[in-house]
Chains A and B, each alone.
Chain A
Amino acid sequence: MLKYSIKRVLWMIPMLIGISLISFFIMHLAPGDITNNEAAFNPKASEESRQKLRELYNLDKPIIVQYGLWLKRMVQFDFGNSFATHQKPVFLGTTDTDGNYTKGMIEEALPITLMINLLGLAITLTLAIPLGILAARKYQRWQDKSITLFNFIGFSIPGFWLSLLLMYWLGVANNWLPISGLHSLNYENLSTWDQLKDSISHLIMPVIIPSVTGLAGITLFVKNGMLDVLNQDYITTARAKGLGEHTVVYTHALRNALLPLITIIGLSIPGLIGGSVIAETIFAIPGMGKLFYDAVLMRDFPVVMGVLTIGSALTLLGNLLADIAYALADPRVRRGVARG
């Protein structure tokens, strides 16, 4: 087990280098750079001043040299400062000589995205597991078919369209929920209880809409897992022993059927960390997706690279934890049977 874990950790190093190479070279696919954002396209902005910007950021050096300089800083956990947003630090905050603390951009965005997506995942799982079990138990019957249909409809609706329709219905036509943003403007003046209610009401739409669209995959997974397990010998044996259907399904089958879910959750980590560009844009949420999208449009290379690298590294870490958790939960792996 320990050997397995160490091996997995060591594998992360070449993978991180691979990830950083991919993200770095993607950055240089296009001739566009920071000096071409809309603000700079102003007759008052001289070309010399833009050339100076390029020199400052080493954009004029060969790509290999730029990568070297960047990698050198990266191993020191220094992801540099944003080109576009007044030199904000990309990853972690810094304190200047006067003791003013400036928060890092990823440091600000990541918790928001993580919170929203973890809540979303929790909701997806709470809905998907019972639905999956039901579909498996009523396999090929109308319950199974309606669950499949309902899930696929949820999956197939363009998310931003559904969001706008619901924003109109819940926020404008009926004044039930706030339309966008994370807090009300008077948030600071509310009591703790009201602040909690305020936050929850702002989170309902951005959390629930993506989790409904993501329901289909996990429900299917649970259903198929259940079907596999229910057909296995030990379940048949359990049934034959006269155990109640309820006991069979919920004690014996479920545990084994849910085990592979750990892997699925591991695979969904990029989404948890990356968040949804579209949902964050439409609901005005300053998370990782919005951060990345803005950086792409501004050609803010340090931020683009920072988000890709940190996001991928955290994903690797998450996958590692998921694998270890899986190994701990599944005796076959624990004993060292090789996994693909």
Chain B
Amino acid sequence: MNINTPASIANTPLIDIFKFITTLSILSCFTFASCSQQPEASIDYNKSYPSQDGGTMISAMTGEPSGLIFMVAGESASAAIASNIFNSLLKYNGNLDIEGDLAESWQISDDQKTITFKLKPNLLWADGKPLTSADVLFTWKTVTDENTRSPYASDYQLVSNAEATDALTFKVTYGQVYAPALDSWASLHILPKHLLAGQDIRTTSFARKPVGSNYYQLSQWNHGENLKLTRNPNSVLGQAAIDQLVTRIIPDNSAQFLELMADNIDSMGLDPIKYSRIIPARPELKKNLNLYKELGNSYTYLGFNLKHKPFDDIRVRKAINYAIDKQEIIDGVYLGLGINISSPYKPGTRWSNPTLKPYSYDPEKSRALLKEAGFTKNANGILERDGKPFAFEIITNQNKEREKSAVIIQRRLKEIGIDVKIRAIEWASFISRFINTGDFDVVILGWGLGLDPDQYNIWHSSQQAPGQFNFIGYNNPTVDKLLEQGRSELNPDKRQEIYHTFTEQLLADSPIVYLSAGYGLTAIHKRIEGIVNPIPPAGIGYDSHKWYIPKPYRRNQISAN
């Protein structure tokens, strides 16, 4: 048995059991193919080679995409695969500036309501047919079509007129100035008209055998097992280095990690424990894996139901904010792999207001605020107001980090006299039973750190109906106005000012407690080279077409056909 373990783990009962069984060796290695595969232990993966074409990269995901037309499918698994196959008009570069993808240039009219996109010349679909503005127009019509029922339609429905004036020109006019417009054109995958016209977008088999324009095309989809992408020879954006991208579907995380250990997959997202405790302590893993850390795209928060007493009282919300030690959560839950935030934007980007400071951990202030709000301690040490003890339930979904955060918060709140219970609930029940009905006091959830600062859907007071996203019931006329202004302001500096004021107001109102923005943690096998580290703000995968696998590092048993 080839296990190198740190001393603390080496002589454990479990490992002994393994040794015992191995020596007994009931199951000997007979004729199976896998037996003859010897681990390629002798290869030194630390050399670096110049970029070269070819090879296969294998990754894994826990859920299978429902289809590869993202505007219909809507889930992240679909986006992960489809974004290798399709292009949008625009895209974000490494530093999160918008640049052209299919579009060569774009122009905004003087009244700021019309955007004219100029496509790059000679664009082709993977099947060799030309990609023109007619395809873009078709895509817009499809996404806004009633029958498509795209969850993402609302951005595009604001377009009052769209036309393809010539083969390379696509023009959209908005009824009102809409600042997030450019952002929206960076996330709409352009679909081929010649294959989809006349088809029902919701049922078309195109979703399972798509034709796109990006670096890769789908070559094989073994349902429930894997998806194989190969290079698109007609990609006009250039050629990706790696020949074949295989994504295996492995629902269980532990099984995925075993596959990573056995070198059957090349990359995997990690939790903080695997990232900072397990892999660094295991030389045989450290030898082959590079670990990457990037500021994640989301943050975790504790949200109050502002329609329920006593959370309608700002002093109570602030008191709870002061009573929670965010650093403790970052240290205990994220093992230090997270940061404090004070606005719902990625720190370091222009929308994040650098003057804002998170609420400090200050139990004294917290006690004083609660006293001011009329709470007094009863005989059991629990705070009381009008004879009613201050007790509530924190509800969260089944997410280890969120559960653990809740446990830490529970103790801190107990110290100031608040009795907290915790419930972690499976996602669909959580949303339907608690969020959509508004039947909750306090939740722990996460929101994305959006690239465009518009968060109208989350904070505007008009967005409180069941199923909408301001389910905490936040209602501040000043904020409403700022959000409306921000949507129709295209000047980046003025826009920045608006959102800085917005985040300041939001922090002061404390409708949610920002807990932490955890890092995105990834392990990638050292055979993959060309990964930019440290990772730029856009995230690890933004230039994955430049990644390459040097010949000596390629797996020999998987040849790209």
Contacts and interface: CB of A to CB of B under 8 A. Distances in A.
Direct contact between the two chains A and B in their complex (CB within 8 A): yes
Nearest to B31: A197
Nearest to A196: B33
Interface string B185-224: 0000000000000000011110110000000000000111
B226 interface: yes
Contacts, number: 205
A306 B426 CA distance: 23
A285 B251 CA distance: 9
Interface stretch (B92-100, B116-124, B259-267, B378-386): B259-267
Interface string A170-195: 11111111111111111011100010
A11 interface: no
B550 interface: no
B476 to A, nearest CB: 18
A36 B259 contact: no
B255 A175 contact: no
Residue among B205, B447, B466 having the largest count of chain A Cβ atoms under 10 Å: B205
Interface stretch (B147-155, B402-410, B492-500): B147-155
B349 interface: no
Contacts of A286: 223-225, 249
A294 B465 CA distance: 28
Contact of A175 (B34, B74, B224, B561): B34
Given A49-B153, A169-B18, A290-B251, A43 B455 contact: yes
B250 interface: yes
B457 A44 contact: yes
Nearest to B450: A43
A47 B483 CA distance: 19
B317 interface: no
A13 interface: no
A180 B35 contact: no
Contact of A179 (B67, B153, B264, B427): B264
Interface string A144-181: 00000000000000000000100111111111111111
Contacts of A197: 31-33
Q: How large is the interface on A (under 10, 10 to 19, 20 to 34, 35 or more residues)?
A: 35 or more
A123 to B, nearest CB: 14
Contact of B73 (A39, A100, A182): A39
B223 A284 contact: no
Contact of B467 (A47, A172, A180): A47
Interface in B129-175: 146, 149-155
A264 B58 CA distance: 44
A282 interface: yes
B432 interface: yes
Contacts of A96: 203-205
A81 interface: yes
B33 A194 contact: yes
A172 B258 contact: yes
Given A102-B205, A194-B33, A281-B251, A189 B151 contact: no
Contacts of B2: 173
Given A86-B72, A102-B205, A170 B153 contact: no
Nearest to A32: B432
B21 interface: yes
Interface string A191-206: 0001001101100000
Contact of A30 (B3, B73, B429): B429
A46 B151 contact: yes
B57 to A, nearest CB: 11
Given A44-B152, A96-B203, A284-B252, A85 B259 contact: no
A49 B428 contact: no
Interface string A100-140: 10110000110000000000000000000000000000000
Contacts of B461: none
Given A41-B431, A43-B457, A180-B250, A85 B66 contact: yes
A298 interface: yes
B32 A40 contact: no
Contacts of A45: 74, 151-152
B7 interface: no
Given A38-B427, A201-B34, A290-B251, A171 B207 contact: no
A109 B225 CA distance: 12
Residue among B426, B436, B467, B561 having the largest count of chain A Cβ atoms under 10 Å: B467
B262 A42 contact: no
Closest 3 CB pairs of A and B: A286-B224, A45-B151, A86-B67
Interface of B: 1-3, 18, 21-22, 27, 29, 31-35, 37-39, 56, 58, 63, 66-67, 69, 72-76, 146, 149-155, 202-205, 207-208, 222-226, 228, 246, 248-252, 254-255, 258-259, 261-262, 264, 426-429, 431-433, 436-437, 447-448, 455, 457-458, 465-469, 557-559, 561
Given A175-B35, A176-B35, A179-B264, 17 more contacts: A30-B429, A31-B436, A32-B433, A43-B455, A43-B457, A44-B151, A49-B153, A109-B224, A164-B254, A164-B255, A172-B258, A173-B18, A176-B29, A176-B32, A186-B559, A189-B561, A297-B426
Interface of A: 30-33, 35-47, 49-53, 56, 81, 84-87, 96, 98, 100, 102-103, 108-109, 164, 167-186, 188-190, 194, 197-198, 200-201, 281-286, 290, 294, 297-299
23 contacts: A30-B433, A38-B427, A42-B74, A44-B154, A47-B466, A47-B467, A85-B66, A86-B67, A86-B69, A86-B203, A86-B207, A86-B208, A108-B224, A167-B255, A173-B2, A175-B34, A177-B32, A185-B228, A198-B33, A281-B251, A282-B251, A284-B248, A290-B224
